[in-house]
A and B are shown apart, each in its own frame.
Chain A
Amino acid sequence: MRGRSGHLRTWIRVLQLMSEWAVNRQAFLWILLAAPVAAWIFPGQTRVDPLTLLISCVAYAAPAAFLMGWPESTARKALAELLFPSKSGKVALLLPEIALPFLAGVLPSLVLAALWGMRLDIIPWQLWVVIPFSTMTAVSLLFILEEYLPFSGRILFLMALMSQAVSAAWTLSPVFQLLIPHGYILWTLRWIEGSGAAFHGDIYVFFAVLEGIGLLLLASRILSRMPEIQPD
């Protein structure tokens, strides 16, 4: 009587509802463009290659466009109330809501990275690893910030994203480059180009994998909490 097809239909439906919710709000485009545009008009202008900056920003800004406001939205709460009480309900909600922003960030970023790499003889493997794990970090970080710092978290996120484009000397310091995960893709790209990176590309990959997996586990724990009912 029951089958896997039911779960697949749930995932597809959740993906559809989440995309509708995100795309139908005015903020979607603004969030998507906020970081690159802000970086571009930043006082002093950036000297970072626009395509390099775009590859890095898309991996973070696209998930943000889907996730900012999502955990607290009526749509998400309604879906959690419907799906969480069933046995497979947690996965039915968590998997699509993590997968959608992840794919929205990783796919265009990989395509742009492939275009960027066409001028090179060979694209180092580090780029193909750092992009998905950095996007995973972005998704997890957004869920955690939305839970604990719903407003100030967004500002911090945007500032961290914008700081990549700053051409000041302090951006070349090893501490800054490792402290802000938003820059791992950019610094890997710049390591490939041979300009500005403080470490070997493997270091950015290592931290991206570490943070991506660690934060994803943490975000999953937060997201899988059954919403408590507060009687009116």
Chain B
Amino acid sequence: MDSSVQLITDELYLSNKTADPLELAVLAGSMLILLGDQNTIAPKLAAILAGRSSPVSGRVLIGEQHLDVMSHDARGLTAYVSASFSCPGGVTVSGYLELAAAAAGFSGKDSEEILSQLYNWCSLTDYRDTPVEDLSADLRFFTGFAAACLPVPKVLILQGPFPIDLHPLLEDLCDSNCAVVASVPGLEYVPQSSQRIALCSKYSVAHIIRFQELADACSSLIRVRVLFFPALPRSVMESLKGARNIIAVEGGYQFNHSNLSAAVTNLANLARANSRQIAGLEIRSPSSEELMDFFSEDEDTGEVDLFCGEDLDI
């Protein structure tokens, strides 16, 4: 086994409705995003990878020793942060993190030093004496995240959505060789530093793609909806350079364009040239289904996926 592989699945079935096991490997220092909302397998898969939920069958192995993530020996190697993380009533941020540090076995003196660094890193210094229940959702997530980093685990699993301010911290963790797996409900939550994105369907992972592939797919699948005042004839709209799949909607048109900035510039020019006002402009990112359809069209590229256990010959 490659020593840099931190998490790997073994004959893992997430549902009775899937024919093949899920093959997934997460490398040290990398970030894997499980993209899918609550109706997909993504949140459940995150819990399974963290050893906090049982799969239909199969195992998740962690570290060089292939420890079952649900075994006692694997405790402390993974950490799980949930968006709905709870805290005993009245406990302050410092109280919660001191308890987390004590549970991790840090002595009083060490925990003081580590916690002061942690408050700075997570921007929690001003909230040390605030009860966790009184914090905003974002700050609560930061508190849960800070507790999970005591000490930094081999694999950190997050249940999103989480604040965008957390992205640089996740990068820091990856730099320190921690593998990060995050389940997020939409494209807008995907951190730029993620290497692989698993597109999750209702019962399984449909595709695992690179960040750039996702970015390219979003560019070509992005849908623009524009409303003109007064209405613009379709023949004029069809002259818009790069516009594809133009559909008339009430008061305007909807179309795909591979270059968003060019589309907006061209639309403004088109409106000015025809003495029209842009009465409304909406840009919609592709849905999960559209993305899955997009990648289903060009499957089997023959390329080796470094994050797929089979391709790694493990």
- A231 and B159 within 8 A (CB): yes
A206 to B85, CA, bound (A): 45
- B44 and A231 within 8 A (CB): yes
Tell me which residues from 1 to 27 in chain A have a Cβ below 8 Å from any Cβ of chain B. Answer: 1-3, 5-7, 9-10, 13, 17, 20-21
- A3 and B86 within 8 A (CB): no
List 19 additional contacts besides A82-B96, A85-B79, A92-B103; criterion CB under 8 Å.
A1-B106, A6-B101, A9-B98, A17-B88, A20-B90, A74-B86, A74-B88, A75-B88, A78-B85, A78-B86, A79-B88, A81-B86, A84-B75, A86-B104, A87-B76, A226-B51, A227-B52, A231-B46, A232-B84
Using Cβ atoms and an 8 Å threshold, which residues of chain B touch A3?
105, 107
B111 within 8 A of A: yes
- B147 and A82 within 8 A (CB): yes
B contacts, CB < 8 Å to A: 38, 43-44, 46-47, 50-54, 70, 75-76, 78-80, 82, 84-91, 95-96, 98-108, 110-111, 147, 159
A182, chain B: closest CB distance, angstroms: 31
- A78 and B53 within 8 A (CB): no
A229 within 8 A of B: yes
A contacts, CB < 8 Å to B: 1-3, 5-7, 9-10, 13, 17, 20-21, 74-75, 77-79, 81-89, 92, 226-232
A17-B88, A232-B84 are contacts. A85–B106 as well, Cβ < 8 Å? no
- A229 and B102 within 8 A (CB): no
Q: Would you mind naming 14 contact pairs between A and B with Cβ atoms under 8 Å apart? A: A2-B110, A6-B102, A6-B106, A7-B103, A13-B102, A17-B91, A78-B85, A82-B103, A85-B76, A85-B79, A86-B103, A227-B52, A229-B47, A230-B53
Q: Which of B38, B82, B85, B86 has the most CB of A within 10 A?
A: B86
